[in-house]
């Protein structure tokens, strides 16, 4: 049984990879770009879920890391000649990590609403700084038209297909790393801190230090997402990637998808995009559709779509095993 | 008095009036947040709804005072409806569920407002009796703003009396610290929370009515004031009315003097103040350590 499952798994993964490899050829540029956006926000939302779902820390200011990633990459590409694409993304990540490092001494001391609001305060501060320091950040215009390095080879520049492949590689890599992290003993301690910080403390683990590490890791992945977002649009701006809406969007995505489950945020991003697409085509009242969706999700699917999915799965399993037992009995 | 002093004083009064409106919203948010533990993101939307309902009543009857009286009540009724229909279900899930639910309700309210009243600015004239200038020690000042300051003071005193001097206040405070025990004593806890929630939304509606003649009514009203009120509650300390009152005044003054002296960074003065307070006292200025 196990062997078959393993083989089936490998086949499924291979099929997925082949499908993704041919996706741009099959569906055209519009849907390809949609998948790139999906990849960016999946990494962003999952990075926040590391804080929210696994450590229980709600942040109202995660956009600052996303924005720092974007600005870091944009500034690096603007000022350093001939920078490659991966070092450029590295600069974005580094910017977010540095910001997180500066903030950790404050952040590890607080929990709950104070944590959420302190993050919001610093995010707002960064937003205003980005607007006011226009000699560096370009103010309200942001930084646009910075040079984009060739993505795999120097000749493949600005082609949307290649952005897609790069996005898939980044998505795969980041998701794998974050998944790996939640499975390590250290990731398990995080869940412990969420459920009972005192007990984890008594067991001899250092709560503030572990929180700090998760905070910085979460910032790093958000930075990568923001950096790629900036590259994809060839523009970063305060309103586009540092605003308050950008902080609340991943929270909503996580809640729609399912908090605490690893694939929840990704599911949420996909559903969020479907809703966006629906709004774009059929209605003018985006607030109504969004609001109604949120209400329905909370009232009928408290654990989000992933929660609904796992509930249906366990129901189906129960029925299946129940039938099997009955067959045995007869 | 020389003109600069006059300018500073009137600037200060301006800030005070804004602070008082912040306090009216924040006090409602505070009793809901501090006493029921609900992060009510829809509070600002109800505040805006109050302003719109008042506009509608004034447009229909021509009397500001009728709107002043009934708009907050209608708003509170809608708030209680929301609480009974949805929020009670979300409470089981804890803060995240409530947060998302109230965000959803806020955006439905904004959508409804845009549908019924459109997106343009709707003017609301203040009542004739308050439409003049009052002169205090040589400085003339709009009477309506003085009325708002007075209103906030009355609300503060009434709420303090209600919470700390009546049996109902005692029950509410007891329900906050141990709801199951209060329930076991034969008090209908659901009814108590319904009252608290209704009261909080009533205050939001009242603030909406109070601000409508100053700022005109438009769909962006909630964004402008909502976050500020939230920051006031967090900075002042959950459940602390005095904290909310003092912080409201500080923020009102910060916003009016900030525009004058530090115009570049006026938008973040409040959040900076909040950040400093939270770093030193994570539960807010007057918050009790849990």
pLDDT in tens, B208-231: 888 888 877 888 777 777 788 888
Nearest Cβ partner for B274 among A110, A121, A288: A121
CB contact under 8 A, A118 and B275: yes
Q: How far apart are CA B220 and CA B223, in angstroms?
A: 6
Answer whether residue A66 shows pLDDT above 90: yes
ipTM of the complex: 0.80
With vertex at residue A195, the alpha carbon angle to CA A193 and CA A199, rounded to the nearest 5 degrees, is: 60
Nearest Cβ partner for A252 among B100, B111, B284: B100
Cβ atoms of B254 and B231 closer than 8 Å: no
**In a 3-state reduction of DSSP, which class is residue B212?**
helix
Cβ atoms of B27 and B241 closer than 8 Å: yes
Q: Which of B187, B105, B95, B141 is nearest to A60 (CA)?
A: B95
**Does residue A122 belong to the interface with chain B, where contact is any CB pair within 8 Å?**
yes
Which among B30, B93, B103, B267 is the top mutation candidate for probing chain A, defined by the most A β-carbons within 10 Å of its own β-carbon? B103
Cβ atoms of A229 and A40 closer than 8 Å: yes
Q: How far apart are CA A137 and CA A237, in angstroms?
A: 8
Which range has highest mean pLDDT (A37-41, A48-52, B188-192)?
Answer: A37-41
- Spell out where chain B has E strands: 133-136, 139-142
CB count, 10 Å around CB of B56? 17
pTM of the model: 0.85
Q: How far apart are CA B133 and CA B131, in angstroms?
A: 7
N-terminal to C-terminal alpha carbon distance within chain B: 49
Which among A298, A299, A304, A305 is the top mutation candidate for probing chain B, defined by the most B β-carbons within 10 Å of its own β-carbon? A298
Q: How far apart are CA A192 and CA B248, in angstroms?
A: 38
Instruction: Place A101 in a pLDDT band, splitting at 50, 70 and 90.
Output: very high
B104 to chain A: closest CA residue: A291
**Does residue B177 belong to the interface with chain A, where contact is any CB pair within 8 Å?**
no
Cβ atoms of B62 and B40 closer than 8 Å: no
Q: How far apart are CA B239 and CA B198, in angstroms?
A: 16
CATH architecture of A28-329: Orthogonal Bundle (1.10)
Chain A positions touching B272 (Cβ under 8 A) are 121, 125
The reported pLDDT for the residue numbered A67 is: 93
Chain A positions touching B110 (Cβ under 8 A) are 287, 291
Higher-pLDDT residue of A317 and B208 is B208
Domain boundaries, chain A: 28-329
Cβ atoms of B101 and A295 closer than 8 Å: yes
| Mean pLDDT of chain B, nearest integer | 83
Answer whether residue A95 shows pLDDT above 90: yes
Answer whether residue B134 shows pLDDT above 80: no
The reported pLDDT for the residue numbered A229 is: 92
**Does residue B289 belong to the interface with chain A, where contact is any CB pair within 8 Å?**
no
Q: Partners of B140 in the beta sheet?
A: B135
Instruction: Place A330 in a pLDDT band, splitting at 50, 70 and 90.
Output: very low
Encoded tokens for B169: 């206040």
Cβ atoms of B229 and B203 closer than 8 Å: no
CB count, 10 Å around CB of A210? 20
A106 to chain B: closest CA residue: B279
Cβ atoms of B26 and B236 closer than 8 Å: yes
**Does residue A295 belong to the interface with chain B, where contact is any CB pair within 8 Å?**
yes
Least confident of B134-138, B139-143, B220-224: B134-138
Q: Which of B72, B114, B99 is nearest to B200 (CA)?
A: B72
- Tens digits of residue pLDDT in B49-86: 999 999 899 888 888 888 888 899 999 999 999 888 88
Q: Which of B159, B222, B202 is nearest to B71 (CA)?
A: B202
CB contact under 8 A, A117 and B238: no
CB contact under 8 A, A113 and B39: yes
């Amino acid at each position: 049984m196990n062997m078959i499952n393993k083989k089936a798994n490998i086949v499924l993964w291979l099929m997925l990879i082949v499908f993704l490899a041919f996706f741009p050829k099959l569906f055209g540029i519009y849907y390809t770009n949609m998948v790139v956006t999906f990849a960016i926000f999946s990494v962003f939302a999952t990075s926040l879920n590391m804080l929210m779902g696994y450590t229980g820390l709600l942040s109202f200011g995660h956009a600052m890391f996303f924005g720092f990633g974007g600005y870091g990459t944009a500034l690096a590409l603007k000022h350093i000649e001939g920078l490659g694409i991966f070092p450029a993304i590295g600069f974005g990540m580094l910017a977010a990590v540095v910001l997180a490092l500066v903030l950790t001494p404050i952040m590890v001391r607080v929990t709950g609403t104070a944590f959420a609001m302190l993050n919001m305060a610093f995010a707002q501060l960064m937003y205003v700084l980005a607007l006011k320091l226009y000699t560096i950040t370009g103010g309200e215009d942001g930084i646009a038209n910075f040079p984009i390095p060739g993505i795999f080879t120097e000749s493949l520049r600005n082609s949307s297909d290649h952005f897609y492949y790069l996005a898939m590689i980044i998505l795969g890599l980041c998701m794998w790393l974050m998944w790996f992290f939640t499975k390590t003993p250290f990731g398990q301690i995080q869940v412990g801190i969420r459920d009972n910080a005192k007990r984890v403390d008594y067991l001899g683990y250092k709560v503030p230090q572990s929180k700090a590490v998760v905070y910085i890791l979460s910032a790093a992945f958000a930075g990568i997402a923001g950096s790629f977002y900036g590259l994809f649009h060839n523009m970063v701006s305060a309103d586009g990637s540092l605003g308050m809406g950008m902080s609340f969007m991943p929270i909503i995505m996580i809640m729609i998808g399912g908090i605490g489950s690893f694939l929840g945020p990704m599911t949420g991003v996909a559903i969020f995009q479907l809703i966006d697409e629906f709004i774009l085509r059929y209605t003018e009242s985006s607030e109504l559709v969004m609001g109604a969706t949120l209400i329905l999700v909370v009232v009928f699917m408290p654990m989000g779509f992933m929660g609904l999915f796992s509930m249906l799965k366990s129901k189906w399993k129960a029925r299946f095993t129940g039938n099997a037992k009955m067959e045995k009995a007869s | 008095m020389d003109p600069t002093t006059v300018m500073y004083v009137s600037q200060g009064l301006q800030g005070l009036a804004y602070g008082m409106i912040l306090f009216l919203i924040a006090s409602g948010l505070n009793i809901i947040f501090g006493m029921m533990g609900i992060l009510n993101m829809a509070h600002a939307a109800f505040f805006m709804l109050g302003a719109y309902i008042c506009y509608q009543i004034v447009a229909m009857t021509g009397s500001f005072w009728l709107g002043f009286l009934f708009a907050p009540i209608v708003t509170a009724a809608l708030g209680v409806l929301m609480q009974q229909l949805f929020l009670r279900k979300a409470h089981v899930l804890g803060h995240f569920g409530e947060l998302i639910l109230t965000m959803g309700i806020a955006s439905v309210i904004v959508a409804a407002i845009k549908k019924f009243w459109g997106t343009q600015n709707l003017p609301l004239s203040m009542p004739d009796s308050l439409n003049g200038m009052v002169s205090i020690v040589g400085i003339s000042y709009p009477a309506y703003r003085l009325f708002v300051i007075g209103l906030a003071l009355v609300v503060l005193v009434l709420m303090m009396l209600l919470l700390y001097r009546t049996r109902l206040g005692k029950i509410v405070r007891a329900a906050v610290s141990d709801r199951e025990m209060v329930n076991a004593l034969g008090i209908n806890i659901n009814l108590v929370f319904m009252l608290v929630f209704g009261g909080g939304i009533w205050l939001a509606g009242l603030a909406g009515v109070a601000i409508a003649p100053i700022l005109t009514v438009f769909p962006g009203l909630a964004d402008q004031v909502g976050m500020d009120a939230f920051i006031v509650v967090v900075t002042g300390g959950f459940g602390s009315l005095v904290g909310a009152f003092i912080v409201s005044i500080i923020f009102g003054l910060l916003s009016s003097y900030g525009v004058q002296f530090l115009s570049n960074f006026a938008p973040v003065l409040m959040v900076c103040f909040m950040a400093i307070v939270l770093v030193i006292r994570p539960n807010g200025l007057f918050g009790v350590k849990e």
